[in-house]
Structure 1
Amino acid sequence: MYRLLIVDDEQIITDGLFEVFSKLDLELDIYKAYSGQEALQWLNRTRFDIVLSDISMPGMDGLALMEAIRRSWPRCKVVFLTGFNDFEYVYQAIQHPGVKYLLKSEGYPKVIDAVKQSVKEVEDELQIHDLLQQSRAHRDTIETLAQSNYFRNFLFDAPKDETVREDFRRLNVRLDHEAPVLVALASLTHTDGKPSHAYRQDRALTVKMLSDSFFAGQATCVGFIDRYDDLVWLVQPISSRTHEETVRYLEGMFELVQQACLDSLETTVTVALADEPAAWDRISSVYEKLRERQHYRAGDGTRMIQRVLLKESDPFPSLRERSPRDKAEALTVLLESGRKEEFLEVFDELAEPVRTGRAGAAYLTELYYTIALLLFSYVNRWELREKVSAEGLMQAELYPSWSERFAYLRDTAAAIFSLRQSGEQNRAAAAIDKICAYVEEHIGEDLSLVRLAEVIHFNPSYLSRLFKLERGVNLSEYIEETRLAAAKEMLRKGELKISEVGAKVGYEAAHSFTRFFKKWTGLTPQDYRDGIRT
C-alpha cells in the first residue's frame, strides 16, 4: 500500500480532496495536513510515496516542502496544485524533474489522473529488473562474497580492534570501524517450492543488490548473507542524517524492497531493525537479539518490519553453540527459521538407516544424541520445558528400539513447530488487542495508521495487514465503528453539544462529524438525538 499526503492551507480543499480519494479504489493510505509545517511533521514520521500539495502557502510554501521531501524521501512523487497567479512558483517547480503541477480550476478528475499516474510511476520504479540493471554496473561479485564471508565470521569471532581497520581497507568496506552501526536482519521466504541452498543464496544476493540501490546516497551500508541464508545489514548514516532519521528512512525503504521482492521474485521479506546504533563489540549480541525478535514475532511475520528497542529488551543472549555434526547443521538452520516441512524431510533422510538397518549402534547413538541435543537446546533457550516433554530427549534407553527413539524425536520436533506457530498467532492476537484498547482509550486523538504502528513498533503496512487477518475487517473500519459507538453513547446521554461530541471522537469540524455520522446511520447527529428523545 502506498501513502498519499494531501497538503493545503485551505481546510475545505484539503478535506474535499481527502474525501474524494478516500472513496476511490486505489489502495492508498491517505493523510492530510493544513500547512507545510504540519506536512513536514508527517514526513518526519514515515515514508510517503506521493505528496499532493498547494504550491503557494503561508510559512512553508510548496517549494520549500519539496526540498524537504527530496532530502528525506527522494523517491517521493510531488504533484503541485496552483492558481493562475502562481507563475513564479510554477517556473521554479518545473526546474525539478518528475514534478507535476495542475491548476486548481481543472477539477477533481485531473487531480485524480495525476495521482494515478504518480502511483503508476512508483510501481514502475519498483520493477526489480530495471533496478537490477542500474545496480549491475556497480556490482563486484568477488567483493560481495568476500565481505559476506568476513562478516559471517565477525558475528561469531570478532577480530581484534587493531586488525579491523586493515581488514576494512582490503575488503573495501566503507564503514567507519570506530563509529557505531545500526543492524538490520531480513528473513526471506520463497513461495516457489523448496528452494535449494544455491537458489536461496542467489535470491538473497539479489535482494541485497536491490536494497543497496534504495539505500545509495542516503546511508553507508554493508549487506551480507548469514549462515541461515538470511540477510544482515550494517548501516551508518550519512553526515546530514541522525540515527533516528536513518532508522525511519530504512523502514520506509524496506517496505519498497518488500513490495518489489513480492511482485518480481515471489519472495517475502521480514525485517527486524535495531532502533539505535551499537558499538562494534556488541554487533554479535545485537544480531542475536534481532534473531530472537524474529522468532517472537506476531503472526506469520510476512512483510513485517519490526523496530527492536534494544534498551527495553531483555539482556542479550549468549551466542549459540554450533552443532557438533555437519549433517545436523541443516536441521539447526531449518528449526531456527521455522521451516517445518523441510525439517521433517531432512530428519527422515537422516533417520533412513534406522528403517533399513544399515547403520551400527554407535552411529545411531551419535546421530540420536546430536538431534536430541539440538531439540533440547531449542526447548531450553525458548523456555518451552513446560509445554514440551523434553526430559526423555537425553535418555535414549527409555525407548526399547531405535525406531521408537527416532519416532519420539520426530514427534518432539513436530510439537515444537506447532508451539511456535501457535505462539505467533497468540502474539498477533495480543498485538491487535493492544491496538483495539488504544483506539478505545484515545478515540478523540490521532488514530492514523502511522500513529497506531508506533504504538506497537510495527511498520504501518504490516499492522494494516495483520489487523485484517486477525479481525476480518480493515483497521479504518474498526476505528470508524468504535467512534460511531462512542458518539451514539454520548448523544444518548445528552450532556454534550453535538460539536463537543464530534470533537471527542476525533472530528474537530462539525460538518465532518455530521457527514461521518450520516454515512453510517443515515441520520444527522441531531436527528439521532431527537429520535431518542421522542
Structure 2
Amino acid sequence: MRRLLIVDDEAIITDGLAEIFGGLGLPGLEICKAYSGGEALDWLNSTRIDIVLSDIRMPELDGLELLEVIRRGWPRCRVIFLTGYNDFDSVYKAIQAWGVRYLLKTEGYAKVIAEVKEVLRELDEGHRTEVLLQQAREQRNTLETLAQGNYFRHLLLGTENRSPERLLEDFRKLNIPLEPANRILLILGSLVHAAPCSSYADRQEAALAAKLLGDAYFQEKTNCVGLVDRYGDLLWMLQPASGAAGDGDPFEGIVRFLEGTLELVQEACLESLGMETAFTICSTPFTWEALPSAYDRLRQMQHHRAGDGSSMVMTIQANPLDMTGQSQEGLRAEKLEPLAGLLEAGRRDEFLESLSDLSESVLSDPACEAIQVMELYYSVSLMLLSYVNRRQLGDRISAIELMRFEGHVSWQEAFLYLARTADHLFSLRRTGESSRAKSVIEGICSYVEEHIAEDLSIVRLAARFHFNPAYLSRLFKQGSGQNLSDYIEEARIRQAKRLLVSGERRVHEVGARVGYESPHSFTRFFKKATGMTPQEFRESHREAAT
C-alpha cells in the first residue's frame, strides 16, 4: 500500500485532486488530505506517507518547512510541490533535496497525474528487494551474524550475565552496534503463511532473508540487531540512531517510523520471498536487565491477536516494572524444543506430523522401555499443560486427564490422545482469533456511528484500534464481508438521510454533521450514492409525506 498526502490551504484544490486520484483506481494507493501545513504534520506524525503533493506557499507552515519535517521522519518519502510563477526562489531551494519535484499550477491535472504515476513507478523500482538484500549481505559478515544471534538467544533465556560492564565487553567483541547503557525497543515478527519448506535449512534461510530485509530498512533511523529466535520467529532489538528523532525523547519518533516501515518490509517479503509476515512492536523502552521478561511478554501479546495475523503490524505497551524479573521461560529438552515452537506458532499440521514422528520413533524401537515411553508422554503432556495454563484454557482441557498415562489402554492410544488434545488446542486458538476479530469489527462499527462527523480515514481508524491500515481493512472485509470504506459511506448516507428528513438543519449543516466540511463535496457524495442531490431528496420526501 502506498499513501499520497495532498496538502493545500484551498479546500477546493485539495478535494478536487483527491477526487481525481480516487477516480483513477490506482491499485494500492490510499489518498489522504490536509488543508494546512499543520494538518499535514498530524498525518506525518501518525503514519507513513510515501508521496506528498503540496502547495509550496501556505500560511502557518510552508512547503519548505514541511519538507524539513518529512526528511527527518520519513527519509524515503517523495515530495511534489505545486508552484506559481513567482515561487522560483523557493523551488530552487527545494529541488536541492533528494526526491523533490515541482510542477507549475498552470500545467493542469494531466501533468500532475503523470508526475504522481512516475513517482509511484520509481518507488516500486526502488522497492525491489534484491538490491536491499545485497546491500544487507555486504554490510554483515555471515559468521558475525551467526555469532550475534547465538549470543542474544542465550541472553533471552536469562542465563547470561547482563551487567553493563559484561555487555559492553561482549558487544565490543561481537561488533554489536548497540549501547548497553541505553534502553532498547523490541520487534517480534512471524512468518505467517510461508511457502512449504522441505528442510530446516530452507526455513532458516527464508527467515534469515526476511531478517536482512528488516535490517536494511531499520538502519535508516536506528541501530539494530536482528536474529531468528528458537521458535523460528524474527526478533529485532533497536535503539534510535544519533540525531534520528530530533529534540526530546529519542524513542518517541522511532515507533511511528517502525510502524510505517514494517508495512514496506511486509510488502518486500511477500513480493520477493513469497511470505506473509506479522509484526508486534513493544513501544515501551526497557533496560537490558529486563530483556528476557520483555521478550516473553511480547510473545504472549502477539498470541492474543485478532484474526490470523497475516500482514499485521500491532503496537503494544508494557509497564517497565513488569519486565524487571527473571524470564519465566524454562530450558526444554532439545528434542522437544522444535515441537514447542510449532505449538506456540500455531502450526497445526507441522506439529501433529512432528509429534507423530517423535512418538513413532520411540514406540517402534524394540529396545524402548516403558519408562522411556512414560518420559516422552509426560514431557509432551507438560508442554501441552504449560500452554493450557499460559492461555488460561483450564476450563476447556482437563489437566487430570492429560497427566493420566496409565488411564490409556495402550501406548499408541496414549499418544493418539495427546494428538487429539493438541488438535483441540489449535481449534480453540482459531476460535479465539475469530472471536477477537468479531469484537474488533463491532468496535469499529460503533466508533464509526458515534463519530460520523469526524475524520474516519482508514489511517485514523487504524491508529485508534492499534493496527496497521492494510491489516485493519482486510480484517474488516473478512469478518463483515464488506469493505470498510463502503461501510463508512453507507453510515454517512443513513445519517444524512435522517437529518435531511427531519428538516431541522440546512443542507450544508447536514453535510458537516456527516463529515463533509465542503458543501460541494457533500452534494457530490450524496448524489453519487442516491442519484439525487440532498435538496432533491428532502423535497421528494416532503412530497411523499403530503
When normalised by structure 1's length, the TM-score is 0.96
Q: Which residue of 2 aligns with 1:487?
A: 496
Deviations for 1:391-427, whole angstroms, at most 9, x for unmatched residues?
Answer: 2111111112112211111100000001111111111
Task: Give the distance between the partners of 1:36 and 1:477, measured in 2 at CA.
Answer: 29
Partner of 1:402: 411
> Is residue 2:235 matched to residue 1:232?
yes
Tell me: CA distance 1:166–1:315, structure 2 relative to 1, closer, same or farther (3 Å).
closer
Which residue of structure 2 lines up, in the alignment, with residue 310 of structure 1? 318
* Partner-residue secondary structure (3-state), 2:539: helix
Q: Where in structure 2 are the equivalents of 1:113-512 lying within 5 Å?
A: 113-157=114-158, 158-161=160-163, 162-240=165-243, 241=245, 242-311=250-319, 319-322=327-330, 324-353=332-361, 356=364, 358=366, 359-512=368-521
Amino acid in structure 2 at the alignment position of 1:57 = M
Residues 445 and 434 (structure 1), Cα distance of their counterparts in 2 relative to 1, 3 Å cut? same
Determine the C-alpha separation between the residues in 2 that align with 1:360 and 1:526: 86
The answer to whether the 8 A contact 2:222-2:239 is kept is yes
Report the alpha carbon displacement of residue 321 of structure 1 after superposing the two structures with TM. Answer: 4.5
How many angstroms apart in 2 are the aligned matches of 1:191 and 1:219? Answer: 27
1 CA distance for matches of 2:179 and 2:448?
Answer: 43
Change (3 A) 1:8 1:496: same
Are the equivalent residues in 2 in contact too, given 1:220–1:238 (CA < 8 A)? yes
Letter aligned with residue 281 of structure 1: E
Task: State the Cα distance separating 1:190 from its structure 2 match.
Answer: 4.7
- TM-score, structure 2 length as denominator? 0.94
CA distance in 1 between counterparts of 2:428 and 2:381 reads 18
Q: Partners in 1 of 2:416 and 2:18 — Cα distance?
A: 60
Moved more, 380-389 or 518-527: 380-389
Cα distance in 2 for residues equivalent to 1:37 and 1:409? 59
Separation in structure 1 between the aligned mates of residue 440 and residue 376 of structure 2, nearest angstrom = 40
What one-letter code is carried by the residue in structure 2 that aligns with 1:185?
L
- Secondary structure (helix, strand or coil) at the match of 2:456 reads coil
> Partner amino acid for 2:262?
F
Provide the secondary structure at the position in 2 that maps to 1:523.
Answer: coil
State the identity as a percent.
53
Is this contact kept in 2: 1:289–1:316, CA < 8 A? no
Task: Give CA deviations for 1:350-408 in whole Å, capped at 9, x if unaligned.
Answer: 12157647333222111111111111111111111112234211111111211221111
CA contact (8 A) 1:125 1:131 kept: no
User: Paired residue for 1:11?
Assistant: 11
Distance 2:407 2:414 in 1: 8
CA distance in 2, matches of 1:159, 1:524: 72
Give the letter for the 1:131 counterpart: L
**Letter in structure 2 aligned against 1:206:** A
Query: Deviations 1:118-154 (Å, cap 9, x if unpaired)?
Result: 1111111111101122233212112211111111111
Correspondence 1:38 to 2:39 = yes
The answer for unaligned runs of 5 or more in structure 2 is: none
Greater displacement, 431-440 / 77-86: 77-86
| Aligned-residue offset at 1:313 | 11
Q: Is residue 179–residue 279 contact of structure 1 (8 Å, CA) maintained in 2?
A: yes
Structure 1: gaps of 5 or more residues: none
Instruction: Give the counterpart letter for 1:282 in structure 2.
Output: A
Q: Secondary structure at the match of 1:465?
A: helix
Structure 1 range deviating more: 233-242 or 315-324: 315-324
- Deviation, 1:461, is 1.8
AA matched with 2:265: V
Does the 8 A contact of 1:323 with 1:374 survive in 2? Answer: no
Offset, 1:194? 3.5
SS of the residue 1:326 aligns to: coil
How many angstroms does 1:299 deviate by? 0.5
Question: What's the CA shift for 1:98?
Answer: 2.7
Amino acid at match of 2:234: L
Secondary structure of 1:38's counterpart equals: helix
Match of 1:515?
Answer: 524
Q: In structure 1, what is the Cα distance between the partners aligned to 2:209 and 2:403?
A: 42
Matches of 2:114 and 2:209, distance apart in 1: 34
The whole-number CA distance in structure 1 between the counterparts of 2:446 and 2:19 is: 27
Structure 1 residues 245 and 110 mapped into 2: Cα distance closer, same or farther (>3 Å)?
A: same
